[in-house]
A and B are shown apart, each in its own frame.
Chain A
């Protein structure tokens, strides 16, 4: 797989810190799945250079407005730019990697 030459794919350099934020709503199964899936994925692909911030919108509803969150769960890649949003419980690892541009989109 010719990953390196693909223009959309960022192979995260080890020195760059990835800042990810996950918006969830309480302790719903979807939220818990999303948190678990994200942790697993980051450990595997961004070992050691990532930060995950989990925001429970039930505790901070006003953040949904300021951060323009409609669907839950929503994963936002804050760093590196540009900002990207991924919705769902992150159970489809391949789509998450595509969404984070950690893997080329082979489906289209």
Chain B
């Protein structure tokens, strides 16, 4: 098992190409997260000091180290308790599912309680802690222990007044533990300005882990820090940890590896046009989606529609709500035609509603992961993640969400987070988780014409040819619909401006048709006029032709007559004329106008 532990060089981004030389051997703790931040566990065969104030979880962490050693790594252990009796210990850790009595019966564990409450002891000369050594030695031999916990050795300082002897004896004890080759965890109470009350950190120099228990804004968070780890790289941050139903869980800020598989399967968003915007098909299965927007932009509705689509495919969806109750969500969504009740009744949809301030961030995370494990959903919704900022800083929330994303991705669950942002400044959480999400939808309102209208666009979507267009986001009786927006000289038009634009375009279209009709009618009229004119011309022509015909038939007689007359007139006038006097005007030919 030890070989599967993450090696130290994987934790940091150091070049790490050179093969490690004589690497420090480590004993994996089996505590989730702790092996990651220690780069594989505690120094094997050496003592580790675990210190912190009262109630920070020292005893529990140390006990889990032993129990995991027994159950996972087949390393028997000895728990030497100075404070609690064996019976108390058994009862206290039973709540975390550790069965000490069974381990003891199996010969894997010795719980050695050292009772120092026998009153003050008279010191009469030279002494040593030989009895303690013998007892510890006997206990180690009894089970062949590889792991030893001493909790809390500083209690000895209360029982023995001669601290000089005690210090030299403790130094001897730690040396002796090293010689025995056991991996030891020694707990110490936090002192005033020092790590431990009696400064025993001087003697334990290989690895020092500090636990802390702080209350920030009424929310208590336990934190763990590796102060020192001689000969090993380690995470240097303060890591939140929590004590859950199955022991201690340390939450590293960074996960050691990104080894999630990537599905090419798509899962519909429930909104056909949104699927189309995401390059036909919707979100990738197992991807992380952030729907970000200002208040009242329909983020939850989008989430609900996604759940609805998921459930109608027969998959399960888990909805974590931080702002509304199940009944409220179901009612509100029914107003836009999304019937979630039927899926809840069918057991396909589960709501987990709680105010963020009920638990600390880590406890929320823990609870969510537990529910997700139990329900095994295809889709998880967290609505809205920005509410978590009330109980933690942006960095804390981002760390928690990172952890959540990793967890969900490992399970192949598609996650949809909504996030509320104010128009002025994007929410802190968004900035922090921007790189975590695969698809980022932005919903916002556009103000204009005395109204707010919702628009949606795809800010980013990894690995798909997504639309770059803004769509108007409409909440109808049948859920969400996306409409085209109009882009004109005045910018993007939405809402009534869009409707006005549509009407205008319709009107403009009609006008054009009317115009065409008018022109057609005009043309027709013109044709009629032309035909009439043509007919008139033909008639004129025919009349003229008729006249000309008639004139031609009478011409021979006339010419002779006129020639006679002209001759006569010439004679009378004593002059000649070239002009044929009988055609004085063209109109004289026809007689018709």
- Which A residues lie at the B interface, using CB under 8 A? 23, 25, 28, 30, 33-34, 37, 57-58, 61-62, 64-65, 68-75, 83-92, 95-96, 98-99
Are A68 and B124 within 8 A (Cβ)? Answer: no
Q: Which of B73-119 contact A (CB under 8 A)?
A: 112, 114-116, 118-119
Set of chain B residues within 8 Å of A30, measured between Cβ atoms: 126-128
Residues of A within 8 A of B115 (CB): 68
Question: Is A90 within 8 A of B125, CB to CB?
Answer: yes
Interface size on B, residues (CB 8 A): 25
CB distance from B117 to the nearest CB of A (A): 9
Q: Would you call B160 an interface residue if the criterion is a C-beta within 8 Å of the partner chain's C-beta atoms?
A: yes
> Nearest-CB distance from A91 to chain B (Å)?
4
Residues of A within 8 A of B135 (CB): 61, 64-65, 69-70
B217 at the A interface (CB under 8 A): no
Q: Which chain A positions have C-beta within 8 A of B160? A: 71, 87
Q: If A57-B131, A62-B138 touch, does A70 touch B114 (CB 8 Å cutoff)?
A: yes
Residues of the A chain whose Cβ atoms lie less than 8 Å from the Cβ of B159: 70
Contact A89–B112 (Cβ < 8 Å): no
Query: Of the candidates A64, A87, A99, which one forms a contact with B134 in the assembled complex, judged by CB atoms under 8 Å apart?
Result: A64
B138 x A65 contact (CB < 8 A):
yes
Q: How many whole Å from B131's CB to the nearest CB in chain A?
A: 4
Known: A61-B138, A65-B112, A65-B138. A74 touches B131 (CB 8 A): yes
Q: Which of A73, A96, A98, A99 touches B127 (beta carbons < 8 Å)? A: A73
Is B130 a contact partner of A92 (Cβ separation < 8 A)? no
Known: A87-B123, A87-B160. 17 other contacts (CB 8 A): A33-B125, A33-B126, A61-B135, A61-B138, A65-B112, A68-B115, A69-B131, A69-B135, A70-B156, A71-B129, A72-B130, A72-B131, A74-B131, A85-B118, A86-B123, A87-B124, A90-B124
Q: A86 to B122, Cβ gap below 8 A?
A: yes
Q: A86-B122, A98-B122 are in contact. Are A68 and B127 (CB under 8 A)?
A: no
Most buried by B among A23, A73, A87: A87
Asked whether any CB of chain A lies closer than 8 Å to the CB of B132, the reply is: yes
* B130 and A68 contact, CB distance less than 8 A: no
The answer to whether A71 touches B131, judged by C-beta atoms less than 8 angstroms apart, is yes
Residues of A within 8 A of B114 (CB): 68, 70
Chain B residue numbers with a CB within 8 Å of A96 are 122, 124
B356 at the interface (CB under 8 A from A): no
Indicate if the CB atoms of A92 and B134 lie closer than 8 Å.
Answer: no
In the complex, residue of chain B having the shortest beta-carbon distance to the beta carbon of A73: B127
Other-chain contact of B122, A23, A33, A62, A99 (Cβ < 8 Å): A99
4 pairs of A and B residues whose beta carbons are closest in the complex? A99-B122, A72-B130, A91-B125, A88-B125
Confirm or deny: B121 has a beta carbon within 8 angstroms of a beta carbon on chain A. Answer: yes
Nearest residue (CB) in B for A31 is: B130
CA distance A62 to B127 in the complex (A): 20
- Chain A min CB distance to B127 (Å): 5
Which of chain B's residues have a CB closer than 8 A to the CB of A23? 131
A61 touches B124 (CB 8 A): no
Chain B nearest CB: distance from A24 CB in Å?
Answer: 9
Residues of B contacting A73 in the complex (Cβ-Cβ under 8 angstroms): 127
Contacts of A88 in B (CB 8 A): 122-127
Main secondary structure of the interface of A (DSSP, over half): mixed
Contact of B131 among A33, A70, A75 (CB under 8 A): A70
**Please, how many angstroms separate the alpha-carbon atoms of A88 and B165 in the complex?**
11
| Chain B contacts for A72, CB-based, 8 A | 127-131, 134
Cα-based distance from A55 to B124 in the complex (angstroms): 19
Bound CA–CA A88/B114 (angstroms):
19
Pair B134/A71 contact, Cβ less than 8 Å: no
Q: Which residue of B lies closest to A90 (CB)?
A: B124
Q: How far is the CB of A55 from chain B (nearest CB, A)?
A: 11
For the complex, give the distance between the alpha carbons of A23 and B130 in Å.
10
Known contacts A86-B124, A99-B124, A61 near B134 by CB under 8 Å: yes
Nearest CB on B from A25, distance (A): 4
In the complex, whether B279 has a CB less than 8 A from a CB of chain A is no
Chain A contacts for B134, CB-based, 8 A = 25, 57-58, 61, 64, 72
| Choice from A64, A87, A99 contacting B138 with Cβ under 8 Å | A64
The reply on B181 being an interface residue by CB < 8 A is no
Any chain A CB within 8 A of the CB of B137?
A: yes
With a 10 A CB-CB cut-off, give which of B116, B123, B132, B134 has the most chain A CB atoms.
B134
Contacts of A69 in B (CB 8 A): 131, 135
Shortest distance between the CB of A43 and any CB in chain B (Å)? 17
Inter-chain CA distance A68–B125, complex, in Å, is 20
Query: Which residues 311-363 of B have a CB within 8 angstroms of A?
Result: none
Residues of B within 8 A of A74 (CB): 121, 127, 131
Q: How far is the CA of A91 from the CA of B127 in the complex (A)?
A: 11
- CA separation between A57 and B159, bound complex, in Å? 21
B124 touches A70 (CB 8 A): no
Smallest CB-CB separation from A23: which chain B residue? B131
21 contacts between A and B (CB under 8 A): A23-B131, A30-B126, A30-B128, A57-B130, A57-B131, A64-B131, A71-B129, A71-B131, A71-B160, A74-B131, A84-B122, A85-B119, A85-B122, A86-B121, A86-B123, A86-B124, A87-B160, A88-B125, A90-B124, A92-B125, A96-B122
Nearest A residue to B139, CB-CB: A65
Q: Determine the chain B residues whose CB is within 8 A of the CB of A64 once the complex forms.
A: 131, 134-135, 138
Task: Report the Cα distance A62→B110, complex, angstroms.
Answer: 13
A91 and B112 contacting across the interface, CB-CB below 8 Å: no
Asked whether A89 lies within 8 Å of B127 as measured between CB atoms, the reply is yes
Chain A residues, Cβ within 8 Å of B116: 70
Nearest CB in chain A to that of B135: its residue:
A64
Chain B 213-236 interface 0/1 with A at a Cβ cutoff of 8 Å (1 = within): 000000000000000000000000
Residues of the A chain whose Cβ atoms lie less than 8 Å from the Cβ of B127 = 30, 71-74, 87-89
The distance from the CB of A70 to the nearest CB of chain B, in whole angstroms, is 5
Contacts of A85 in B (CB 8 A): 118-119, 121-122
Contact between B130 and A71, CB atoms less than 8 A apart: yes
CA distance A91 to B123 in the complex (A): 10
> A68 touches which one: B118, B122, B123 (CB < 8 A)?
B118
Contacts of B137 in A (CB 8 A): 61
In the complex, which of the residues A61, A68, A71 contacts B128, with contact meaning CB atoms closer than 8 Å? A71
Chain B 520-558 interface mask (CB, 8 Å, partner A; 1/0): 000000000000000000000000000000000000000
Question: B residues within 8 A CB of A62?
Answer: 138
Q: Which residue of B lies closest to A71 (CB)?
A: B127
A96 to B118, CA, bound (A): 17
